[in-house]
Structure 1
Amino acid sequence: MRVLPAAIIGLAIIIASVIWVFLPSLLIEEESFDGPAIDSGARIEIEMLNQRVEDLQIRIDELSQEVAEVKARPVPQSAPTFNTAPQEQEPFQPSGPNDIIDAYAQVVLIANRKEVNQGLQIAGPSYLARTFGPPREQLSDRCEQMTNRRLADKLVLEKVGPIRVQMLQPAVDSLRRVFENIRLTDPDLYARINTAGALCVRQIRGTRGRASTHAFGLAVDLNIDGVLDTLGDGKTQLGLTILADFFRSEGWVWGAAWRREDSMHFEVSRQKLDEWISEGRL
């Protein structure tokens, strides 16, 4: 019976050593993103490994408790006999579906969310109204038809990548490039992208006559597997954090940085909009 506590203690020491060696490397911050060719799998693996470290720590605590209980038991006077016959091993059982694929919809905290747009400017309601005029003469709280002739003539309704959207033509062309980069880099994530809408010509809720970027056909709301994000909680689906890197490279702003976090929201930046205007595309 003295062998059992020693074996359990030994196992706990081995697990603690593994954690001590590998935990620092797991907690190293990721390098900043420089382009669309990111390693989505690595990011997801880090999340999974962090969880495994926590599980190992819990197991160590359980082993310590078992050791204490074994030490407290009375020692038998005669040595027990053991069955030394070889035991037949059970066949290997698969552990389940691919953890990396399942992790795209996992909800996580948004790291450094105030810095996710890295210098990109928002266009904003005032700038959009000065540049294009209002999207329609009278704005209500309902989504209505766009009547601004300059913009309405450039509206298109198209299937773009895995979703169908109605937006201004330059925005659709740009969104198509974003989705193509995602498809080539991470086809599993690409297949699970869904939308909560794009064009919606109405005033921002709680305001009078102020139109959001959605009202100008320059924004889209996205999610993973059709599950809507909770507005303002500082968290989002892991897949959306990956999408944000691709959008930023194309000059789109992510709503995760808003004072009231809106991580489903992606909109064209002011820099990209000015570029399209200078090219005569808007």
Structure 2
Amino acid sequence: MNTENKSIKIEKKEEIGVIILNMPETMNALNTGMLQELDDSMTQLEKDEQVRAVIITGNKNFCTGANIKELKEKHPAEAEVFSRLGHKIFSQVENMEKPVIAAVNGYALGAGCELALACDIRIACKNAKFGQPEVNLGLIPGFGGTQRLTRLVGIGRAKEMILTGRIIDAKEAEYIGLINKVVGDEELIEKAEEMAQVLAEKSPIAVRIAKGLINKNQEIKKGLEMEIVSFSECFASNDHMEGINAFLEKRKPRFKGD
């Protein structure tokens, strides 16, 4: 089975469902429409009784984050709506009863890194890059990064990544525990499918219960809600507008703290 919307492509290989972010011209930057299509795709595979494991990947790049041009037009209340949409969908990924594997190629930045964090297992090719560079836009991660990254790599490394906006390569991402495995660029999908097949062969009941118990132990709901509110507050700052304009004008931002 192959289905394709404007920005999301779904492939089904027996018990494995593959979601492909398919807007290579924008490096799979997430806008509202693409998020809604991702929501629909996840729901479709969740309901498909034949599918026992899901892979999320991207065409040429995994995802470079939220669409900056769309963010520029948002006021704080609109930014909160956008953040809540992203949180809803990424929580759907995280809490899906079936295991979800992120197969990361190219850039996974901002919301792209956060999407990978919401998955159960992350496999990356050698050319993959990870980062939470929102601080360079006068923003904070808005789709769960302050909570999920911290729980995955620890407070110290999460603070370094989020506060500096530094982008790291796949080797370092594996070393700090952000990803599970690095593979060759040409074998990414093959290795992801091998892992998905291993998961698909396990008891769906046992997998569902185990995943649910592990997630329940994280207790991040309150922290995620605080992130949404804080993300939207950033949109009232002059620093945010300076960061956005500097990014679009390809120059270094001049932040003043107001």
- TM-score bucket (shorter structure): under 0.3
TM-score (norm 2): 0.25
Q: Which has the higher helix share?
A: 2
Larger Rg: 1
TM-score (norm 1): 0.23
